Chain A
Amino acid sequence: MNTSLKKILLGEQGLVVIFVLAFAIVAVFVPNFLTERNMLGLLQSVVTIGIVACTMMLCLASRDFDLSVGSTVAFSGMIAVMASNATGSILLGLIAALICGSLVGLINGVVIARFRINALITTLATMQIVRGFALISSDGRAVGINDPNFYQLALSKFLGVPTPIWVMLVLFIAFGFILNRTVFGKNILAMGGNPEASRLAGVNVVSMRIWIFALQGLVCAIAGILLASRITSGQPNAATGLELSVISACVLGGVSLAGGRAAMTGVIVGVLIMGIAENVMNLLNIQAFYQYVVRGLILLLAVLLDNLRSGAAGRKG
């Protein structure tokens, strides 16, 4: 490979460059790809992953891990629907869902940070517990919505763009700001870089970790509400496997599983790459089973690229 090309691909913005190239190629060669309708559909399809990726990014950047997001999304969707039905007020339903989601996150955070239980194990446990709650509360069936206004959360548009996409964009901007421009964000990166050194430097590691998980729960609840509105019911089996897609998108976007490295732009690109791959395969009528293979391959390639990149940076030392 010639050196300047290498520099671009392995540089800070390497992934963005690859993404733009891939986008251009797909736009030219895949029919119906670059239409307004398909673009909005594509964005709609990544809303859940995109929203949850915001906080997953923080979680991974601080060297933690959260497997419970899929269950929390489903559970809070159920709560939103059931509480709305029970109280007759959509607003109360939404508040209940947000509180429940945050509570799940808070419990994760307290168990992990205060009782020092491994995050992988803790969230593996809560993933199952919360999924169980979702199934128990609905007796395993989907729960319909009494008030049709609930659909408007997902159907309403602003400037021709559906509300969920706006919510995702707002969260992208908000979490980009949090990561790069706040003490909270920088402390997350410091914790991920070296937790003990950060603690000795006065970072309140325990409360930070609890906050990160609580935020993750809250954001899952937002995603859960929008998902329930889009599928017009509370589904206890919604969003299974979401945790893996979200972590894949983050890793694709250059978030280091060893902590200390993350960028919002990278995560956005990661989310979009996952969405585009799926979208293009749908447009080309490729059987859904192949999509698993392609998603896995993309992830492997991204990690290899990342490895090359840190190898290139490490040589200087």
Chain B
Amino acid sequence: MASFLEFKNISKGYPGVQALSDISFAVEKGAVHGLMGENGAGKSTLIRILSGDQSADSGEIWIDGSLQGYTSARDAFNAGVIVIHQELQLVAELTVAENLWLGRFPARAGMIDFKKLVFEVSEKLQAIGIEVDPNIKVANLSIGQRQMVEIAKAVMLDARIIALDEPTSSLSSRESEILFSLIDRLKAQGKIILYISHRLDEVFRLCDSLTVLRDGKLAAHHSSLEGVTRDRVITEMVGREISNIWGWRSRQIGQTRLKVDQLSGRILPQPISFDVKSGEILGFFGLIGAGRSEMTRLLYGADNRRSGTVSVDGVIVPPNDPRHSIEAGIVLCPEDRKFDGIIQGRSIEENIAVSSRRHFSPFGILRLSQEAKLADTFIQKLRIRTPSRKQDIINLSGGNQQKVILGRWLSEQGVKVLVIDEPTRGIDVGAKAEIYNILYELAESGIAIIVISSELPEVMGISDRIAVMCNGRIAAQYEREMFDDRKILAAALPDKTVAVA
């Protein structure tokens, strides 16, 4: 069977970067094709070219045996290509049915034909097996359901090629399963699905064929995944063997550094107690909604607590204000870097110095040379990849932004407890290993570290001890020798549905 979608010698450059060079591969009809690569490997650029968002400098796209001369997103749409981005493009205040018809409402005598509107939508939704009420407002749907609606829209528009960009990044595992069965059905209908993901498990579960990009070049193309191992794909992505990306090593563990006693708050009504020793990495694992991040925010003073104390080296930290925690040596790298971590529009230099500058600014007057030196030190030490310390932080990749936030806290001299929430979310494999190494070095210097993660392999890979949270309390704790993924996961699953107030 001839290839349905074919990329031929696609190249695209931006000022200073060759984003894609000479990419060629083909995808069969009725196939789910994986597209993998580290951040910056060129996946997004390729998808933008496919969707007509941008045009290639050279090269051709062939669909169903005809050369596509795209100049706009409209052309791509007419050729049957629809891209579903991570940020969904639905109107929250309209119903599902209205969203699916948006821009071409069925009309009778100038009035919207609501009967037809709803009827055809419910038929379509049923045909592809999506259980969503067409009369419900999109605002009332979960993220997973919205994604379904988005896919239904693509099907309604007769898309022949549907590209999904990191579709599961904000889905629960149950929602992901529903998505996967939908993808299977679409495949059976002869659609091409381009599946872009960082998650190897999903790619191996779903895809028939796979393309790996690295630094804008084609690193590998597998027309079948038979006999292809995960390690091989990782190697192709990073271009080097990462046999053990965790790189955990044993280290000296000292006295108790952080003691959390009977901590509770509005969202976490049941008191929580635990402690962390100097040099120890304590991993917190739990499902989404188990209360890990809420616990972190209470501990750090970002949210007001109801009860409990937090002490560092035996000294009680005053509650409910991050400034007290920082002063006592507790620092937080938050879960949501974009909203709680980086200061957009300001330089790397300012993002690093924002907290620690109070130590070296006599009478509140800045010493710019000191700030510049500090920034350069951490850019070098943490290997932050940037042309200059003056660069706006928004222009950095996720991994480098995380490093800047680490730099912000390391420039505080007396850090004793580092809390890092989802340390590597949205960060590529190479940068992950670097961040783990930074954490090990900090632990070796005697800092107590709390890592919160929803990726079990990560928690198991880097922690000395794991606390499992479930329904707002600590359900179990395991020392490293006792790590067992099945036991940990079992402890994280609620045995009965208890609402976390």
Contacts and interface: CB of A to CB of B under 8 A. Distances in A.
Same complex origin of A and B? yes
Interface of A: 181-184, 186-187, 189-190, 192-194, 196-204, 256, 260-261, 313, 316-317
17 contacts: A181-B366, A182-B361, A182-B364, A183-B361, A183-B364, A186-B350, A186-B354, A186-B366, A189-B345, A189-B350, A190-B343, A190-B346, A193-B343, A196-B339, A197-B342, A202-B326, A313-B392
Interface string B350-368: 1001110110010011101
B408 interface: yes
A204 B339 contact: no
Contact of B364 (A184, A189, A201, A256): A184
B187 interface: no
B395 interface: yes
Contacts of B366: 181-183, 186
A189 B346 CA distance: 8
A313 B343 CA distance: 17
Contact of B343 (A194, A316, A317): A194
A317 B342 CA distance: 15
A194 B342 contact: yes
Contacts of A200: 300, 302, 322, 332, 334, 340-341
A298 B419 CA distance: 50
B288 interface: no
Contacts of B343: 190, 193-194, 197-198, 201, 260
B257 to A, nearest CB: 20
Given A184-B364, A200-B300, A193 B346 contact: yes
B344 interface: yes
A196 B340 contact: yes
A182 B395 CA distance: 26
Nearest to B337: A197
Contacts of B368: 181
A189 B334 CA distance: 20
Contacts, number: 79
Nearest to B341: A197
A317 B393 CA distance: 10
A199 B301 CA distance: 11
A198 B300 CA distance: 14
A184 B363 CA distance: 10
Interface in B122-137: none
Nearest to B393: A193
Contacts of A183: 357-358, 361, 364-366
Contacts of B364: 182-184
B395 A317 contact: yes
A261 B346 CA distance: 8
A199 B353 CA distance: 14
Contacts of A313: 392
Decide if the interface of chain B is mainly helix, strand, loop or mixed: helix
A201 B344 contact: no
B432 interface: no
Contacts of B361: 182-183
Q: Which 9 pairs between the two chains have the least Cβ-Cβ distance?
A: A260-B345, A193-B343, A193-B345, A202-B355, A202-B326, A183-B364, A194-B343, A202-B323, A201-B354
Nearest to B323: A202
Given A181-B365, A200-B300, A201-B355, A261 B345 contact: yes
A174 to B, nearest CB: 13
A203 B302 CA distance: 12
Contacts of B355: 201-203
Contacts of A186: 350, 353-354, 357, 366
Given A181-B366, A184-B364, A317-B395, A197 B350 contact: no
Contacts of B334: 197, 200
Contacts of B341: 197, 200
Nearest to A258: B345
B394 interface: yes
A193 B341 CA distance: 11
Contacts of B345: 189, 192-193, 256, 260-261
Given A183-B361, A199-B322, A190 B350 contact: yes
B22 to A, nearest CB: 24
A54 B239 CA distance: 54
B360 to A, nearest CB: 10
Contact of B344 (A199, A204, A260): A260
Nearest to A184: B364
A260 B346 contact: yes
A192 B344 CA distance: 9
A194 B322 contact: no
Q: Which of A183, A189, A197 is the most central at the interface, judged by chain B CB atoms within 10 Å of its CB?
A: A197
Contacts of B357: 183, 186
A202 B322 contact: yes
A190 B354 contact: yes
A50 B350 CA distance: 28
Contacts of A199: 302, 322
B9 to A, nearest CB: 25
Nearest to B334: A200
Nearest to A177: B365
A307 B63 CA distance: 38
A130 to B, nearest CB: 30
Nearest to A185: B366
Contacts of A317: 394-395
Given A181-B365, A182-B361, 18 more contacts: A182-B364, A182-B366, A186-B353, A189-B350, A190-B346, A193-B346, A194-B344, A196-B339, A199-B322, A200-B300, A200-B302, A200-B341, A201-B354, A202-B322, A202-B323, A202-B354, A202-B355, A204-B323
B278 to A, nearest CB: 23
A198 B408 CA distance: 12
Contacts of B365: 181-183
Nearest to B342: A197
A256 B302 CA distance: 27
A189 B342 CA distance: 13
A209 to B, nearest CB: 15
